[in-house]
Every structure is written in C-alpha cells, then in structure tokens.
Amino acid sequence: MAEQAHKTGTSSWEPRIVAFLCRWCSYAGADLAGVSRISYPPTTRVILVPCSSRISPYHILKALIEGADGVLVSGCHPGDCHYLTGNLLARRRFILLKRLLAYLGIEEARVKFSWISASEGEEFAQLIREVTEEVRAIGPFHGFLREVPGEETHDG
Amino acid sequence: MTRTNTSDSLWILPADALPAFLSALAENGELWVPVPVGEGARFLPYREGLPIDLTQTPPAHPAKSILFPHSEVLFTYHRGDDGIPALTVPEFDSRFLVAFGVRSCDLHAINALDAIFLKRSVPDTGYQQRRERLRVIGIACLSPAATCFCDRMGGGPFDTTGMDVQIVPFEESYLFRILTEGGNQLLNPYLDYFQAADEGAIRKIAALEEGTSLQTGQPVDFEDLSQAIKTHNDDPYWEDLANACLGCGICTFVCPVCSCFTLVDEGTPRAGRRVRAWDACMFSTFTKEASGHNPRGAEVARVKQRFFHKFYYCIENEEPPGCVGCGRCVAQCPTSIDIREVIRHYQREGT
Amino acid sequence: MTDKVSLARTLQEVFQREGLDGVIGYAAGTTPLRPRPTVVTKPEAFDSLVFDGFCVQNLANYLHRHRGKRMGILVKGCDRRAVRVLVQEKQIAREDLYLIGIPCPGMLNRSQLLEEYPGLQGDQVAEEGDTLYLELSGNRVTLSRVDYLLPTCRACRHRVPDDVDLLLDPLPFTSPEADGSLADEVKSIAEMEGEERAGLFREELSRCILCYACRNVCPFCYCETCFTDSLQPAWMTPAPEPDNIFFYHVNRMMHMAGRCVTCGSCEWACPEHIQLRLLYGKLVADVEELFAYEPGLDETTPQPLSHFSEHDPDEHIG
C-alpha cells in the first residue's frame, strides 16, 4: 500500500495503538509488567474493559477511524474467563472480524487479538513489542477505503 | 421553450475537442461534470482524464449536489492550550462555478431549491455563495428515459430554463447555444476551440429539436393536485404504498428537489467539526424526538409526508412544486413506488 | 409469469379458510421487471397478485410490521429460511403465520436484462421451462434462464421452501441445480493480492450513498435504533465518507453472521449496484467453514455468535 512512500520521511513516527484490556487478566498483566520494571514501547493507549467480549467491532473500527494505527484486544485464556464464557463468545466474533477485514484488504496487523493472564507480565511486554513492530512495518493508518494518504475519495 | 433561431449565438465544438475545452475552462473556475460511477453518472469536479457521460438521461444522481453537497463541513473548531475555542469556517472559492451537462429537470429543481435556501428569512450561506457563482452549460435531452415526465411538470427536453448556454449533441460534435450575457462571458475566452455554426448545422439541429418529443400527458395542474391531496389525508391508497415502502433514502437522495438535511458534530471537546449531511423524511428516525416520541412513527405517515410536501405544502407556501418530473425516484425505487402513479391517482378528470 | 388466476384463487381460498388478517405477496409494479410487494386484506383484491422471475425481494422483511396478526405470506426458499431465523430470534410466532411456499425457479437479473435490452417492459418477457422469451417489436428473442439468474440464486441450495403450510405446484419455469459460482467468486477474490482486493472493495463501497436500502430491505435488520442512527454514542455520521461507509458495511456484516440467508435482496435493492453478495457470500462461507452452520435450516440449533465451543479455532489469537 501507499504507506511505504509515506513512511520515508516520517522516521520520527511512532505507531499509536489502542489496547482494550480485560480487567481480570491482561490489564493486570500490564500492571505486572509495570511493577516488574519490564520495559516495552510506549505506543499503547490502554482502555480498561470488563471482559474481551465487551468489545464489539464498533470499538475496534472506531478506534482506527479516530486515529489509532493499530488495535489490540486482549482477554483471558480460554477457560479462565471471570464470567466463564465471555472470551469464548468473543473468540468467535474476533475470528470472523479478522477474516472479513483481511478480505476487505485491511492489513492483518492493524487488528490483533491475544490472551494474556494476570501473571504474564513479560508476555504482555513482549506482545506490545511485537504489535508495535508489526504496526510500524505497515505504517500509519490513513482511514478506510482510501488509496492515497489524506486524499478525499468521495465528493457526494 | 426557446426555439433554435439564427439570432442566437451558435457555436460548434467537435466532440474530440471537448476535453481540451473543459480543461481550459477548469483552469479559471470550478467545473462540475457528469461522470460515470458504477452504472450511474453523478456530478463531480472536473479533472484531466476524468470520463464524462453526456448520454445518461438524466444522470442517476441529481445536480443538486453541486450547490447542496451530500455532506459539507460548516466549520471546524479547535480549543487551544489557553482553553479558548477557535472556529474556522471553510474558505469559499470566489471564481465562477460551472455546471456542465445539466438537464432541464435539474435546473427547474434549482429554482425550487432557491425558494428553500435563498428566499426564506435567512439565506443559506454555503448555498448562496455557490449559487451566485453558478453558470450553467445545460444539455438538451435527445433521448428522454421511459421514466421522464418533465413535460408534465413545466419542463421539456429542449427547455432552456436556468441555462446560460445550451448544448445539443449532434453527429460528432456539440452545438453550443449561448443564451445569456453570462454565457457569453463564460464562452468568449474559449471561442478558439469552436467553429461558427453554418446554416446546414442549424437546420439539422432544428430538425433534431422537432423530432425529439416527450409527450407523457397534460401538464399537471398543481393547484388542483394540491387540493386533491390535501383532502385525502386518510386515503387507503397511502397504506398501499406504505405496505411496500422500505423506508430507505433512495427516492430522496436521487431527488433533485429534496433538500432536508441534518447537522452532526464530530470530534471531542478539544477539536472537531460540524457537518451538514442530507437526511431523508423516509428514514424512521427523521422526526424522532429526544423524548423518544416520533410524530411520524408509522411507515404510512412517512410515505404520505413525501407526497404531501411535494404537492401540497410547497404549493400552499407558494413555492415551486417539489417534483420536476426527472423520474429518478421512479427508476430507482426497489419496490416500484411511482410518483407518476400518485399524480394520476389524485388528478381530477380533465386536467 | 405463473398462472395468475390460479395463484389468486388459491391464496384467496387460503385467506378465507384460515381467517387470515392479510396475505403478503407481490403485485405488479409500474416500472419494468419490478413487482411491488403488497398486503392483500380483502377477498376481492387477490387478483392483483403476481409471481414471476422478478419477485426477488425477501418478503419476510414485511412480517415485522404485522406482528401479532395472523398473516399469510408467500415464501420462496430464502424467504422461508428468513422466516425461520425470525422465529428462532423470537421476532414472530410461527403459529401466527400461514406459509404458502413457492418452489423457487431462481430469480432473474433485472439490471442485466435492462442493460442488454434497454427499454424492455414486463409484458415483453415470458418464462417457460428454462427459457426466457423476449417479444421485441415483432422479433422474438430466446434466452436461457440460467444465463440471467441472479448470482445469489444461481448458487442457491435451498430453492424449495420446507415445512410450509401449503406448497404450491412447481412453476412452469425453472432453472438448473445450484452451482458453486458464488463460492468460486468469493474464493477468487480472496486469492487476489491484498492491494488488488482492497482496490476492488474501495471501488465498490465508495459508491455507497448511505441510503440504507440494503439495511431496510433485509429481514434481519429490525433493530429499533440501528447503530447508524445511535447518537449516544455516535458511532458514525450520515456523511457518505469512506470511514462511515466502511464502518457501516463491516458492522452490518458482523450483525448478519449466522443469520444471512443469501437471499440477495440487499444487492438487488442497492441503487448503486454495489456487489454486496461478495461481502455476504464471504461471511456465509466463513460461518459455514468455521462453525459448520448454515442459517435458517433449523430453529433449535443456536446461532453461532450466541454460542461457542471450547474447540473453536484459535489461530487468530496471537
């Protein structure tokens, strides 16, 4: 896509990643990474949610439209959901969404899902490093259905 | 209707010179042309190499979007570090605005839009500034669609109302007929692209005009129609239409006269913008109030509103009728709701 | 066109015998090849009903307006499946309905015919067997029905409605067995290079004018307030800008997962002829592949997104 051209000359650009974290696991995992003084890139803006199943495609797409370059949704490992089945319901939605977005030509790295428990501080830090690098590789997000960065495609 | 006569200023542009002429025209102003997008043409700003469709009659999307865009930023706001919000209003182009290839129906519609946006208590700023800059190079309709009925609504395939210049396609060229002083000023700098029309060409075009007729019925008597509609508020016929109507926005969006809009604010307390976008009285949320009450909660109330507005309220308010006979809503409605049928249904005999 | 008289007589008889409040069917429209859905509520009005190869629109959509009434409804295979999904979702009660099934011959592509034969009128078209006859000013054109089937109909595996109260005789026109054309089309797009595919959908979707005909024609879009109209939070605005368009279509697709019966009504209603089947065909294929679920076939199996299995695929979780 056009971001290759765009990336050159934006070496100071850092990805902005919105991370929706389940309060019972991934959010605590992020906390653990913090108190354990594990360093990871300061690219994420964390939004605390009660469960990964709270997240609908609305939130994910809206985050991208509002300026995120990538979105991460992280919940409890299957079997560990505080509400027993929330993450299992979310898993079904996420796989469909992920496939549809890929089909519509959205880079796969824009939207990422993961399971991180409260005890996985190092795993959380590693996840953020990976997500950051993947989003950095594809460059800034310029909006949906747009060919050239910043170009208006619709004139009504 | 203006008949072709030799006192008009007539010029001929070979079809292959059209792109060069348009490019030259676009250098000095804003130029909108009908562009094929998907299966239907819509008016878009001209740029070099853009395909142009001067055959679709009428273009699937109306020319109203030139003066009244589907969506338009009214202002943006930004709150600085001092906490004081600053508004920025988009700057308007001061050059002329040429609508090229617009048909008679859309120009009659602009007449109706003027009544709404200019002649009520406060003129609409955006509409007004575009309207004042507008110059129209209209086009005659040599092959009206089966759904066209402008002849009943005050227009006609060769009608020149609202045009500064009228073009008539013939053979491998276009005849440009200059109709106003504005049209004269507009074309004058570009006459190098043209040839003066000779007697033969003029005769051929006169024959074209004679040969193009649209006779879909008697002109509509709007006073009569408005009274008939007014007195049929509870007619079961509205239920018949409502039983099919999907409540989508196709008919209002493709209507050259429909002008309802909504205002939306986007952004955060720090920065954002106010946008005006088309709305449609057919949407169930159109009249929904903050309390949750909806005065037009039933489909039938919404279907009725469309025709009441066009044929009764407009007339009652002494504004032009809300329909110009372009037939776009007829052609596009998925459930075959037909404004011609509504007119027929309420027209008294002998009109 | 099917035998109009026997259709009217049969439905009228059912209406009176069953004491129905109305029968939902199709009447002739005023524009070519476009019938107008109608609700017949008087015995003498049944003569207005028609059925031909252009009755594409899914009539189950109209049931929401007649909740609580005892309605008869003409159902093709896809309408039947849509009714079943609505019963499954407790939107309507099966016992309120009298289903009159039509073994569907596959519906025809109006736009394709009008493009190839501009000005074609409804009374110039006759269907017989798998043949389509056009009477064009003294010149009879013979076409094969299958060449003019809507892509969704060509691939339809459930043309004959099941579990109906009355199944009408097969129509005098027909079309061949379902083929995998829609699946193939979706597959070939999925195999395109990313940017090419993005370009295809950019071109298709950027024509969208947010008229919501696709939503309003869909039997499953019955929310009282659609997310498109939500003001608090305001997910999107009515401006037909790329982000709004994309937001609308992707979220609507997600809402259709495990529900879409591929009736094709959305694509058929779209004034911009956006190839929505390419979106919904993909969705349906994914749901089938991932969750082995096909919507509208039985009322008791829960829909895939209101349900889960511990063994669901996990490959997307990184």
In chain C, % of residues over pLDDT 70: 99
Mean per-residue pLDDT, C115-138: 91
Given a contact cutoff of 8 angstroms between Cβ atoms, the answer to whether C73 and C83 are in contact is: yes
Distance from CA of C125 to the nearest CA of B (A): 17
Q: pLDDT band at C2, cuts 50/70/90?
A: low
Is the bond preceding residue B58 a cis peptide, omega within 30 degrees? Answer: yes
Element at B74 (helix H, strand E): strand B71-79
From A6's Cα to the closest Cα of chain C, the distance in A is: 16
Residue type present at position B167: I
> What pLDDT does residue A149 have?
52
The reply to whether residue C272 touches residue B40, judged by beta carbons under 8 angstroms, is yes
Tell me if B275 and C237 make a contact (CB, 8 A cut-off): yes
Burial (CB count within 10 angstroms: exposed 0-12, middle 13-18, buried 19+), residue A4 = exposed
Residues of A in contact with B34 (CB under 8 A): none
Interval C112-120 mean pLDDT: 93
Q: Is residue A29 part of a domain?
A: yes
With a cut of 90, say whether residue A64 has pLDDT above it. yes
Question: From CA A40, how far away is CA C288, in angstroms rounded?
Answer: 40
What pLDDT does residue B344 have? 94
Highest mean pLDDT, choosing among A79-83, B3-7, C314-318:
A79-83
Model confidence at C4, pLDDT cuts 50, 70, 90, reads confident
Residue C318: inside a domain = no
Q: What is the reported pLDDT for A155? A: 43
> Measured between beta carbons, which residues in chain C are less than 8 angstroms from residue A106?
198
CA torsion sign for C128, C131, C133, C139 is negative
Query: Does any domain span residue A85?
Result: yes
User: Residue B64's closest chain A neighbor by CA?
Assistant: A156
Window 225-284 of C: residues touching A by CB (8 A cutoff) are: 227, 235, 239-243, 245-247, 250-251, 253-254, 257, 279, 282-283
Region of poorest pLDDT, from A143-152, B97-106, C164-173: A143-152
Q: Determine contact: C312 vs chain A, CB below 8 A.
A: yes
Tens of pLDDT, residue by residue over A95-132, are 999 999 999 999 999 999 999 999 999 999 999 999 99
Higher-confidence residue: C101 or B9?
C101
Q: Is pLDDT above 90 for C77?
A: yes
**Domain membership flag for residue A148:** no
**Residues of chain A contacting B65 with CB distance shorter than 8 Å:** 155-156
Tally of domains in chain A: 1
In a domain, A15, yes or no: no
Q: Does residue A3 register a pLDDT over 80?
A: no
Structure tokens at B186: 């507009």
Nearby residues of C230 by Cβ (< 8 Å), 6 or more positions away: none
**C129 DSSP β-pair partners:** C173
| pLDDT of A61 higher than 60 | yes
pLDDT in tens, C246-295: 999 999 999 999 999 999 999 999 999 999 999 999 999 999 999 999 99
In this predicted structure, what is the pLDDT of residue A151? 44
Report how far residue B282's alpha carbon sits from residue B325's, in angstroms, rounded to the nearest whole number: 19
At C7-31, the pLDDT tens digits run: 999 999 999 999 999 999 999 999 9
CA distance A1 to A6: 10
Q: What are B285's two structure tokens?
A: 């949320």
Question: With contacts defined as CB-CB under 8 Å, which chain A residues touch B266?
Answer: none
Measure the CA dihedral C93/C96/C102/C107, to 10°: -60
Q: What's chain B's Rg over C-alpha atoms?
A: 22
Which pLDDT belongs to residue A94?
96
Q: How far apart are CA B14 and CA B12, in angstroms?
A: 6
Query: What pLDDT score was predicted for residue A154?
Result: 43
**Cα angle: C314, vertex C316, C318; to 5 degrees:** 95
The pLDDT-based confidence of A4 (bands split at 50, 70, 90) is very low
A74 within 8 A of A44, measured Cβ to Cβ? no
Taking the C-alpha atoms of residue B211 and residue B209, their distance in angstroms, rounded to an integer, is 5
The three-state secondary structure class of B309 is helix
* Domains identified in chain C, total number: 1
Q: Supply the pLDDT for residue A6.
A: 45
Interchain contact, A91 vs C198, CB within 8 Å:
no
Joined tokens for residue C10: 């049969």
pLDDT at C162: 96
Residue numbers of the domain that contains C300: 4-306
Q: Is the pLDDT of residue C113 over 90?
A: yes
Distance separating alpha carbons of residues C279 and C292, to the nearest angstrom: 19
Direct distance between the N- and C-terminal alpha carbons of chain A, in angstroms, rounded to an integer: 25
**pLDDT (tens digit, 0 to 9) for every residue of chain B, 351 residues total?**
444 444 568 999 999 999 999 999 999 899 999 999 999 999 999 999 999 999 999 999 999 999 999 999 999 999 988 888 899 999 988 999 999 999 999 999 999 999 999 998 899 999 999 999 999 999 999 999 999 999 999 999 999 999 999 999 988 999 999 999 999 999 999 999 999 988 888 888 889 888 888 889 999 999 999 999 999 999 999 999 999 999 999 999 999 999 999 999 998 889 999 999 999 999 999 999 989 899 999 999 999 999 999 999 999 999 999 999 999 999 999 999 999 999 999 986 444
Task: Kindly list the residues from chain A whose CB atom is less than 8 angstroms away from the CB atom of residue B71.
Answer: 156
Mean pLDDT score, C65-75? 97
Tokens linked to B3: 């008949």
Q: Which domain holds residue A80?
A: 21-138
* Residue A145 to residue C282, Cβ atoms within 8 A: no
Could you say which DSSP state residue B102 is in?
E
The reply to whether residue B337 touches residue C36, judged by beta carbons under 8 angstroms, is: yes
Please, which pLDDT band fits residue A90 given cuts at 50, 70 and 90? very high
CA nearest B140: which of B208, B188, B193, B200? Answer: B208
Other beta carbons within 10 angstroms of residue B332's beta carbon come to 24
